[in-house]
Structure 1
Amino acid sequence: MPVDLDGVRAYFARGPLREDLLAAFIVSVLLIPQSLAYAMLAGLPAQIGLYASLLPLLAYAALGSSPVLGVGPVAVLALMIAQGLGELPAGVAPSEGALVLAAETGLILAIAAWLRLDALASLLSVPVLHGFETGATLAIAFSQLPVLLGSRAHGFDLPALWQDARQGGFDWHGLSALYGLGACAALLAARRWLAGTPGRLAPLLLLLGTIALAWHSDALSRGVALVGALPRLRLELGLPRLDGALWLALLPHALLVALMAYVSSLVVAESLARRRGEKVDARRELAGLAGANLLAAASGGMPVAGSFSRSVLLHDAGSRTRASGAFIAVFMALAMLLLAAPLAWLPKAVLAATIMVAVLSGLRFEPYRDAWRYAPAEGLLMLAVTALVLLVSVAAGLALGVLGSIALLLQRTARPHVALIGRVPGTEHYRNVDRHAVECLPGVLGLRIDESLLFTNARNLTEVVQGFLQQHAGTRRVVLLMSPVNNIDFSGLAALQELHQSLARQSVRLDLSEVKGPVLDRLRASGWQRWFKGQVYLSHHQGMMD
């Protein structure tokens, strides 16, 4: 594909270069504490979060489709990574496991893009996604509470955290707690009273202020846990550990990480695209995330996805193109070169505060109430997913969500909705007899099938129609209005043939009306004329009056 040199010149001359540079600078300075915090949340050395915020951004800028999706370490994935790395075989360092997990995630997403599996996003319904995010948010907050207070207890779900606290005692360190709680108060105050650029820069100012305070007061000698010295910026490109047993052990976790990374990123990208009047290419999002994770695996990083907070910030800061992601990577590299020494004095309690304030700011419980009012079964599934994520594991909650969504779908479609319809007086319109005042013809039964005939519901078609026949003795013809039917699979074809034969044995003729063109083409291609003896009418009114 040739490079549009005129477009490149226009971009640097009078295009959106200035907006992209400004947006990248604002986001990159805030990305430093966030990247450190999420690596720590995943149980990894802090610098891995920084490495995951460099080359992966270049890959997404080249392959993705959203101009504002901020790719990098994210809180929910960090929690999933932590739980996956907790099951590593003996002798495998967490950083090695993270590289393998990122490589597997990238390969899974690349295969999905190649196979055009964009519909993967539909595996997680809105109730499941919200239940999962709420459970993960609470789990993250609880996991950071000991760090915030300077306690040695740790765990990534409530039972593990409670067990560790009971065994070792939930001790806490006064000065560390002061740093953590003070940082929380400062961040919350900034969110409430500072708007615009000052509000956006508040986390960075807090970071620099606590670093200076910790250094001036020699916080390390007073027992405050610090981030510690970071290694010098040294991206060593290479393959992750090639150990078949390790790759196999992490594969189930990689499948869940890949699914969550894609679904959550696509939700963020599409929501911001709607605000901007733009479109997002779902397949290119798969490709962009695949490239980002593969480069993370090759450059000492961890699995990455699109971050809601970072993406909103890019949008608000005025990002115009995906080039802002490449600029962020450059600014991040400069920051690592210039700020490595000062960051060693950053208290871990302050990082925990930035995580807790960031994740809890998006916590909402209204969807539980709304889902319960509209669809109690979906509200119950939402609550169950939240509880399982919080009390068992992220993997268990995600698995329940996918299986629960499928089960609800099957339950809703297991019995096709068939309505008895009659003519609205003086018109050629036909409506449900239970909802409208209509006229019905003696001896002719008009029925409307309100969904496609698929393997999930087709076997009950004959039973449903026979139920109407029992209530209308003397019926000579049944006319099925097929306009709502978009598809008939082989099970549906078999059910239609069974209904035809069942009615024929009762000397009742089966006719169809308003069959959609593609559906009728498939029926004809199957040779259904061999057994179908009824008529196919262009309009339902014609079929009823014939």
Structure 2
Amino acid sequence: MRVVLPATWRADLMAGAVVAVLLIPQSLAYAMLAGLPPQVGLYASLLPLLAYAALGSSPVLGLGPVAVLALMIAQALGQLPPEVGPVAGALVLAAEVGGVLALAALLRLDALASLLSVPALRGFETGATLMIAAGQLPVLLGSRAAGFTLPDLIASAPQGGWRPVSAAWGAVAVLLLMGARRLPSRTLARLAPLLLLVAAMVVSAFTPAAQGVAQVGALPTLALPLGLPMLDPAVWWQLLPSAALVGLMGFVSSLAVSESLAQRRGEKLSPAAEMRGLAAANLAAALSGGMPVAGSFSRSILLHEAGSRSRWSLVFVAVFMGGAMLMLAGPLAHLPKPVLAATILVAVLGGFSLRPYREAWAYARAEGLLMVAVTVAVLGWSIAAALAIGVVGSVALLIQRTAQPHVARIGRVPGTQHYRNVERYAVECMPEVVGLRVDESLVFTNARGLADAVLARVREHRERVGEPRRVLMLMAPVNHIDVSGLTALQDLHHTLAAEGLRLEFSEVKGPVLDRLKAVGWLEKHDVSLYLSHHDGIQAGEHALRPSLADHDAPGQL
């Protein structure tokens, strides 16, 4: 069977070569960060990329081992009994992540990405970044201190000790990597981690400079180990909650990366296809000796900047990774661990910034607090607790924001047919009609508060303008009315009727109007409908009267 390459294969080939250079050291480093042998990271960078290329939709998603998932994987594998090896556990975890995502894709649950709000996601990623950096310091210093949270790490530090020679290797590596970031050539800057690893292996193998420094050690022959993961039900059951969290985090972060780049490139992205592609990639990792994988922001940006035009670039990345496997088995044994730790440290801290916290605090303090809470939970509690806080906090803030529908009293901007909030604009109001604007969909979370919100605005109108006979509700912002919302409208109609007021609608959207007509709601309750709010206002007979707005000049809508 002949393989036909696309017309863009040259651009994809170049992009694949560039990203493979970055993926080689990251695959090794993130596997060891997860507590796995370095070759597992290489295995996770072969067949999973081909699986995603077949089923995914983004031409620039840099798939493979990622730092945040590596930390989650390490915590999950740390809970297994000693008789279950970390490699066997990683294969089970990858299979479960793939299975969870495949089931979610089958049930069309790609909307699960919305469970984790942007503040929660950023708080989690920042906390994981800091924890990863803190966790690499003992390796950098030659210390035996270890832990998945800051309290554990600090508690083990006095017994861990440190080795000056390891610290020297690590410090030099960090300085070289930081200096490489300032190089005028972007190509050299990207090659720096790989060149450093090669140089460290050469120096370690042929000079006594690395004596007393921990090294990666001898690796088995790098041959792709195809086969099924272990089928112990107890292990599968124990890892299932962690797999669900890893799957959720992997999908949310990958989708965020691919969607942002798709918007930048003017391309369309299918969240359902992204979920299928990520599921296939993790299942492929489970069958080929790998670890759970997801999209990397740094590699995705690199694919985009290197000119990737299609998912064939991932195929070429896998080809280059396969070639690297054939050449790395021997040299990797001499790689000093402090140098590998330095590449992780510099890579993860390169994107660290406090700016998202400042922006979130200035814009919405509740979301800023959620971001901080998730970060603190990652550092001081656990990954699972942090994700739970992020999801629950995001949902709680949503419910809190929508528990009371926002209903604005509106009047006409003089000399126009535009209607704005009386509290923000100098407008004119007609005594006989209360103009209201409902600013959100009417659903079960806010329906109970509709009548109270409307009656409060009616009382304001009576006190400031005059005695009304009609309540005209501008419904343009309402995108959906569920059964709870419909019941709330019926209760509102009865409440207004008891006060001698007639309920009327203007500018109802087509899908909402279709549902109301399907049950004959407008006819049943004798509710008038106007094509525009201005038409509804003009249906009255009295002249406009200036409102008692507190502002003399137009404000913001």
Question: Relative to 1, partners in 2 of residues 1:62 and 1:534: Cα closer, same or farther, differing over 3 Å?
Answer: closer
Which residue of the other structure, out of 55, 64, 86, is the alignment partner of 2:47?
55
TM-score normalised to structure 1 length: 0.94
1:37-77 deviations in Å (ceiling 9; x for gaps): 11110011121111111111111111112222111110000
The corresponding residue for 1:485 is 478
Q: Which moved more, 1:309-318 or 1:498-507?
A: 309-318
Question: Relative to 1, partners in 2 of residues 1:16 and 1:489: Cα closer, same or farther, differing over 3 Å?
Answer: same
Question: Relative to 1, partners in 2 of residues 1:291 and 1:10: Cα closer, same or farther, differing over 3 Å?
Answer: closer
Supply the distance in 2 between the matched residues of 1:278 and 1:531 (Cα, whole angstroms): 47
The corresponding residue for 2:276 is 287
Which residue of the other structure, out of 83, 90, 101, is the alignment partner of 1:91?
83
Question: Relative to 1, partners in 2 of residues 1:482 and 1:52: Cα closer, same or farther, differing over 3 Å?
Answer: same
CA contact (8 A) 2:469 2:500 kept: yes
1:385-425 deviations in Å (ceiling 9; x for gaps): 11111111122111111111111111111111111112223
1:324-365 deviations in Å (ceiling 9; x for gaps): 212222222221112210110000111100000000000011
Q: Which moved more, 1:271-280 or 1:506-515?
A: 271-280
1:58-103 deviations in Å (ceiling 9; x for gaps): 1111111222211111000000101111111352111111111101
CA shift, 1:472, in A, is: 3.8
The corresponding residue for 2:547 is none
Count of paired positions = 535
CA shift, 1:212, in A, is: 1.0
Supply the distance in 1 between the matched residues of 2:230 and 2:385 (Cα, whole angstroms): 27
The corresponding residue for 1:437 is 426
The corresponding residue for 2:56 is 64
CA contact (8 A) 2:522 2:528 kept: no
The corresponding residue for 1:519 is 512
Which residue of the other structure, out of 62, 68, 79, is the alignment partner of 2:71?
79
Supply the distance in 2 between the matched residues of 1:349 and 1:219 (Cα, whole angstroms): 13
1:319-468 residue pairs with structure 2 within 5 A? 319-468=308-457
- Residue 112 of structure 1: SS of its match in structure 2? helix
CA contact (8 A) 2:406 2:439 kept: yes
CA RMSD across the alignment: 1.8
The corresponding residue for 1:495 is 488
Supply the distance in 1 between the matched residues of 2:505 and 2:460 (Cα, whole angstroms): 21
Supply the distance in 2 between the matched residues of 1:292 and 1:326 (Cα, whole angstroms): 13
- Residue 139 of structure 1 pairs with residue 128 of structure 2: no
- Residue 42 of structure 1 pairs with residue 34 of structure 2: yes
Return the letter of the residue paired with 2:169: Y
CA shift, 1:527, in A, is: 3.5
TM-score normalised to structure 2 length: 0.92
The corresponding residue for 1:186 is 176
- Residue 196 of structure 2: SS of its match in structure 1? helix
1:216-257 deviations in Å (ceiling 9; x for gaps): 22466x321100111112223222111222212111111111
Supply the distance in 2 between the matched residues of 1:479 and 1:276 (Cα, whole angstroms): 44
1:115-194 residue pairs with structure 2 within 5 A? 115-166=107-158, 168=159, 170-194=160-184
CA contact (8 A) 1:497 1:531 kept: no
Return the letter of the residue paired with 2:198: L
Return the letter of the residue paired with 2:398: L
- Unmatched tracts of structure 2, length 5 or more: 540-557
- Unmatched tracts of structure 1, length 5 or more: none
CA contact (8 A) 1:124 1:405 kept: yes
Question: Relative to 1, partners in 2 of residues 1:87 and 1:406: Cα closer, same or farther, differing over 3 Å?
Answer: same
1:100-119 residue pairs with structure 2 within 5 A? 100-119=92-111
Q: Which moved more, 1:25-34 or 1:104-113?
A: 25-34
1:185-213 deviations in Å (ceiling 9; x for gaps): 11111111242322221111111111111
- Residue 298 of structure 1 pairs with residue 287 of structure 2: yes
Supply the distance in 1 between the matched residues of 2:469 and 2:442 (Cα, whole angstroms): 24
The corresponding residue for 2:542 is none
The corresponding residue for 1:261 is 250
Supply the distance in 1 between the matched residues of 2:239 and 2:209 (Cα, whole angstroms): 38
Question: Relative to 1, partners in 2 of residues 1:430 and 1:322: Cα closer, same or farther, differing over 3 Å?
Answer: same
CA shift, 1:10, in A, is: 6.5
- Residue 223 of structure 1: SS of its match in structure 2? coil
CA shift, 1:426, in A, is: 3.1
- Residue 178 of structure 1: SS of its match in structure 2? helix
Question: Relative to 1, partners in 2 of residues 1:429 and 1:312: Cα closer, same or farther, differing over 3 Å?
Answer: closer
Supply the distance in 2 between the matched residues of 1:98 and 1:294 (Cα, whole angstroms): 12
The corresponding residue for 1:202 is 192
CA contact (8 A) 1:24 1:327 kept: yes
Question: Relative to 1, partners in 2 of residues 1:278 and 1:85: Cα closer, same or farther, differing over 3 Å?
Answer: same
Supply the distance in 2 between the matched residues of 1:471 and 1:32 (Cα, whole angstroms): 67
Q: Percent identity?
A: 65
The corresponding residue for 1:249 is 238
CA shift, 1:530, in A, is: 6.7
1:418-474 deviations in Å (ceiling 9; x for gaps): 111122233332221112222211222111111111111110111111212333443
CA contact (8 A) 2:226 2:289 kept: yes
Supply the distance in 2 between the matched residues of 1:308 and 1:516 (Cα, whole angstroms): 39
CA contact (8 A) 1:144 1:356 kept: yes
CA shift, 1:9, in A, is: 4.8
CA contact (8 A) 1:147 1:349 kept: yes
1:21-32 residue pairs with structure 2 within 5 A? 21-32=13-24
Supply the distance in 1 between the matched residues of 2:196 and 2:63 (Cα, whole angstroms): 24
Which residue of the other structure, out of 182, 185, 203, is the alignment partner of 1:213?
203
1:5-50 deviations in Å (ceiling 9; x for gaps): 8xx6563xxx333332232223223322211111110011121111
Supply the distance in 1 between the matched residues of 2:504 and 2:135 (Cα, whole angstroms): 64
Supply the distance in 1 between the matched residues of 2:13 and 2:532 (Cα, whole angstroms): 61
CA contact (8 A) 1:40 1:46 kept: yes
Supply the distance in 1 between the matched residues of 2:403 and 2:340 (Cα, whole angstroms): 50
Supply the distance in 1 between the matched residues of 2:194 and 2:63 (Cα, whole angstroms): 19
Supply the distance in 1 between the matched residues of 2:461 and 2:50 (Cα, whole angstroms): 69
Question: Relative to 1, partners in 2 of residues 1:316 and 1:516: Cα closer, same or farther, differing over 3 Å?
Answer: closer
Which residue of the other structure, out of 218, 230, 245, is the alignment partner of 1:229?
218
Return the letter of the residue paired with 1:196: R
Supply the distance in 1 between the matched residues of 2:218 and 2:208 (Cα, whole angstroms): 15
